[in-house]
Structure 1
């Protein structure tokens, strides 16, 4: 016998509900853990184009963008604590089409970032175990951490907090070990793109380095996607976001300055392991400190990889629950109350990307570089849409409950918006082929969006924001 409509609605809702278990410390661990791999690798490529001093200017600009963005984004997260994060904010501000754009951009960011980090984990393990194929190790990392995320968000968040604390400890150890060799003259030598003095040509390198500065902070906004699983999101999320971005800014400055001042920074500007190589300047290749750094460095990669799996799964889950993706992906595990199908779906895409050299390796860039760049494109578009949504909701919904309000409004969100537009223009100029592929992804997704209106109309009403 078919259950009555009310019981059917309740039962349907239970299949689409997440469990509220996360506290402030766990959310802080997610915020920092999502990003902290960026302190270990990727950023030093900015030195190759901008030099150390030029990259400092770029990094300060990007850090200011992220700081003002997070203070502004927190208003949206606490006002609309929804697993879809940016998708939910844009949908409420601009309707279904705005929700599609923000959701698709966020999905690109969070689905393409994990394979890049997984490849770094695989390359790292290959150094320690030469017989281990990096891509197989990367796939193994996916399988392990997808399983951990399926078992339960509280277990996953506790693990994330532990590995994040270990990663921070290791960065502090690195700064302490190299500090005896700190020489400011090392850092400033040729600091303006290979020159000792600033010139107009330095601007080119500083703009080209923007993606590598973004890598310092990419994905911190993923905490928004855990909002439905927070015990008290209106209080805990602002604390997690603000302390998280401050933690990351301090660590980014410390790591960059101490690494560059340890020796010849030009030897660190085109490699994936700048911290171990910088430590070699001080303690030599066979030091016990060196051995510890190499092994503990894995925690930084694992923290980000594991945290972003949590982020992409909630984005897929929220989009499917609202009818933007197949409804099948919105089911939660009956025992663990986690979006297990969304976790597996994102993993399948990520593993396919890992083994798609010929498809993704183009434009003279490596597989990892193109994957990272694609992820950054998604992030920047999402930042722009989110700040526009904040301005729109301030006007269209002035009476909305706002437990946290963006400070110095409208200046903070305006700066974040303008800075993100500058970053997007720069990204398109220096990565035109990747920009074309990103635009094709959005266009194909929009065609699917137009063809599946019935899915959104049939989605559970209690899971949707009002049109």
Structure 2
């Protein structure tokens, strides 16, 4: 176990840094992954699903912010569920979050490889993914201030690049192209298209997945009770506008079906507007990498802090809760999460289901973790409102209980639909969760025997 100063992260992040993290964590979802939703739902069906999911995320973020500002700890959802439901609730929320954040980077790193392959056709995407891990694990270890500043820089570039994409593609946008066969291949809604819409839920969630990761930087934020609400609200507005702009304009650029199973839909859509040799296309490929890098880098920051918080509380081996003696970052946790990601990239067989691409399978697994965490977080909000009415809440969820109730209900519906359409991946997720929770609670009990109540003090009382 780690004690005293060794368990405290350095406070160095302002509101602008946190906005960069909020948007940067998610912005790769605008560059790839979402287009797989077209393959099952069509453009119109997926547009409807995305609108519903966006409403869920807006309600969730406005509610989740109450928890983040009231309990600003690196564990984020783990800390909230622990306080609301005790050790078992903390373990469920913590490991669901960890699955979300550990399995999103492999998908993003493969997309980085796909983007680079546009310029270097002989480059193996897995080799590029491995190189990305090496670079950004090192950058995360060097220090959160440097890492967050870099995150802000690449996020601004990525947002600018999406705006350039929309401006270049807008002149060739055709509503006829966008709506043709827009209901899962049909021009009108059918039962088949309704089923396709439910199956497309994880790819709509990919537009917004991981924005909640700002909570895991709360312990390193200056004035978290003021800066975190600013970051969350401006972040969700930014991402919603970008998601709809990119999706609609790409879908109307030509035959959307040709983009529905690609890791690089935006360069292919822009190619229709400017041709193969245009400087605009090359710019999109190179600058488009910034969007992927922003999310990849930011999510590494997130999973490292979730591992750190779980280890600090005794749910994972104590070594994962150590901080680098010079940089004060969770270096061992950062490397451990990267090792899992690299194994995923090079182990297609155990996580690739139903003939779908590895990227789609990994996205789906990550979304299962996210939805479980969303449900636990909203349940924690309701329970803490009832059990701790005097808890200092600098920000209170608007429209309580309707707004958080809507977020909770939609997350539950999405989870049920995903289980139905992704039974094999659901089974994998449940198996991993059961094993992780049982082993971690046992490990924690051992840690408590060895170290008294220090684990509880760090996990639940620092707020």
Alignment of 1:102-113 (within 5 A): 102-113=93-104
Take 1:91 and 1:351, find their aligned partners in 2: how far apart are those partners? 30
SS at match of 2:27: helix
Report the equivalent of 2:447. Answer: 455
Q: Which of the residues 72, 82, 85 maps onto 2:73?
A: 82
Paired with 1:461 and 1:201, the residues of 2 have a C-alpha distance of 51
1:443 aligns with 2:434: yes
3-state DSSP of counterpart to 1:419: helix
Residue matched to 2:382: 391
1:157-202 deviations in Å (ceiling 9; x for gaps): 0000010000000000011011111222221222222222223432
1:403 maps to: 394
Give the equivalent residue in structure 2 for 1:149. Answer: 140
Moved more, 90-99 or 43-52: 43-52
User: How far apart are the structure 2 equivalents of 1:50 and 1:116?
Assistant: 21
SS of 1:415's partner is helix
* Aligned with 1:183 (options 168, 174, 191): 174
- Give the match for residue 4 of structure 1: none
**Maintained 8 Å contact 2:114/2:263:** no
Q: 1:204 aligns with which of 182, 195, 198?
A: 195
Q: Do the aligned residues in 2 keep the contact of 1:218 with 1:379 (CA within 8 Å)? A: yes
Cα deviation code 1:432-457 (max 9, x no counterpart) = 01111111111111221342212145
Give the distance between the partners of 2:166 and 2:448, measured in 1 at CA: 51
Poorly superposed stretches of 4+, deviation over 6 Å: none
SS in structure 2 opposite 1:465? helix
2:165 to 166, 174, 177: 174
Report the secondary structure of 2:297's partner residue: helix
Which range moves more in the overlay, 216-225 or 116-125?
116-125
* Structure 2 residue 54 is matched with structure 1 residue 63: yes
1:420 Cα deviation (Å)? 0.4
- 1:415–1:341: structure 2 CA closer, same or farther, 3 Å change rule? same
**Gaps spanning 5+ residues in structure 2: where?**
none
Q: CA deviation at 1:400?
A: 0.3
Equivalent pairs counted in the alignment come to 458
SS in 2 for 1:306: helix
Write the distance in 2 (CA, Å) between the matches of 1:165 and 1:456.
45
2:45 matches 1:54: yes
C-alpha displacement at 1:382, in angstroms? 0.4
After superposing the two structures, state which structure 1 stretch, 296-305 or 272-281, moved more: 272-281
SS of residue paired to 2:397: coil
CA 1:172–1:267 in structure 2 vs 1: closer, same or farther (change >3 Å)? same
CA drift at 1:204: 1.0
Paired with 1:216 and 1:306, the residues of 2 have a C-alpha distance of: 17
For residues 406-455 of structure 1, the C-alpha deviation after alignment (integer angstroms, 9 at most, x for no partner) is 00011111010010011101111111011111111111112213422121
Q: Alignment partner of 2:315: what SS?
A: coil
The separation in 1 between residues aligned to 2:223 and 2:140, in whole angstroms, is 21
- For 1:306-455, what aligned pairs fall within 5 Å after superposition? 306-452=297-443, 453-455=445-447
CA distance in 2, matches of 1:329, 1:350: 16
Deviation track 1:203-250 (CA, whole Å, cap 9, x = no partner) reads 111111111100100010000000000011000000000100010000
Aligned to 1:281: 272
1:52–1:191 Cα contact (<8 Å) kept? yes
Q: Hey, what's the Cα distance between the residues in 2 that align with 1:59 and 1:400?
A: 35
Pair 1:284–1:30, CA change in 2 (3 A) = same
63-72 or 265-274, larger mean C-alpha shift: 265-274
The two structures have a TM-score, normalised by structure 2, of: 0.96
Alpha-carbon contact 2:22-2:213 (below 8 Å) kept: yes
CA contact (8 A) 2:111 2:264 kept: no
- Which runs of no fewer than 5 residues in structure 1 stay unpaired? 1-8
Residues in 2 aligned to 1:151 and 1:49: alpha-carbon distance in whole angstroms: 42
Give the whole-Å Cα distance in 1 for the aligned partners of 2:268 and 2:120: 19
1: CA distance between counterparts of 2:379 and 2:459? 21
3-state DSSP of counterpart to 1:20: coil
CA drift at 1:369? 2.0
Q: CA RMSD in A?
A: 1.6
Cα 1:130–1:285 change in 2 (3 A) is: closer
Structure-1 separation of matches of 2:371 and 2:278: 41
Which 10-residue stretch deviates more, 452-461 or 97-106? 452-461
**Once the 2 structures are TM-superposed, how far is the Cα of residue 358 of structure 1 from its aligned partner?**
2.6
